[in-house]
Amino acid sequence: MSNRAIVGINWGDEGKGRMVDLLTESYDIVVRYQGGGNAGHTVVNEKGRFALHLLPSGVLREGVMNILADGVALDPENLCKEIEDVRSNGVSVTPDNLLISSWSSLLFPWHRDLDELEESRLGDSKFGSTKQGIAPFYADRSRKKTILTGELFYPEAFAAHLQQLMEYENLTLDREYGALTYSKEEVNDWVDRYCRPLIPFICDTGKYLRESQAKGKNILFEAQLGALRDLDRGIWPFTTSSNTTASYIPVGAGMPGAVLDDVTGVVKAYSTCVGEGPFVSEWSGAEAEQLREAGEEYGAKTGRARRVGSFDCVATRHGVMMQNATEIAVTKLDVLSYMERIPVCTAYLVDGERTEDFPFPSALDSAVPVTEYMEGWNCDISSVRTWEDLPDAAKRYVSFIEEAAGCPVTYISVGPERESIIIRKNRKEEWRRAH
Ligand code: GDP
Choosing from 21, 28, 41, 75, which is the catalytic residue? 41
| Per-residue pLDDT, 1 | 64
User: Which atom of ligand 1 is least distant from the CA of 226?
Assistant: 3
Q: What is the pTM of this model?
A: 0.93
User: Residues 267, 10: contact at Cβ < 8 Å?
Assistant: yes
As a whole number, the mean pLDDT across the chain is 94
111 is a catalytic site residue: no
pLDDT, tens only, 300-318:
667 789 999 999 999 999 9
Does residue 39 have its Cβ closer than 6 Å to ligand 1?
yes
Per-residue pLDDT tens for 171-181?
A: 999 999 999 99
User: Is 41 an annotated catalytic residue?
Assistant: yes
Cβ of 414 below 6 Å from ligand 1: yes
pLDDT at 369: 98
- In whole angstroms, how far apart are CA 20 and each of 7, 25, 31, 224, 391? 10, 9, 10, 12, 27
What is the third-level CATH fold of 267-434?
Answer: Adenylosuccinate Synthetase; Chain A, domain 3 (3.90.170)
Helices (DSSP H) in 132-241: which residue ranges? 134-142, 155-171, 177, 184-190, 205-214
pLDDT digits (tens, 9 = 90+) for 186-204: 999 999 999 999 999 999 9
Nearest one of 411, 409, 340, 417 to 382, comparing CA atoms: 417
CA of 137 to the centre of ligand 1 (A): 27
Domain with CATH 1.10.300.10 in the chain: 105-198
pLDDT of residue 383: 97
At residue 124 the predicted structure's pLDDT band, cuts being 50, 70 and 90, is confident
Residue range(s) in the chain whose domain bears CATH number 3.90.170.10: 267-434
CB atoms within 10 A of CB 260: 17
Residue 275's pLDDT is 82
Q: Which residues pair with 412 in a beta bridge?
A: 330, 422
Write out pLDDT tens, residues 367-420. Answer: 999 999 999 999 999 999 999 999 999 999 999 999 999 999 999 999 999 999
Which class is domain 3-104+201-263? Answer: alpha beta
**To test the ligand 1 pocket, which listed residue (6, 16, 18) has its Cβ within 8 A of the most ligand atoms?**
18
Cβ of residue 141 lying under 6 Å from some atom of ligand 1: no
The CATH fold of domain 105-198 = Adenylosuccinate Synthetase, subunit A; domain 2 (1.10.300)
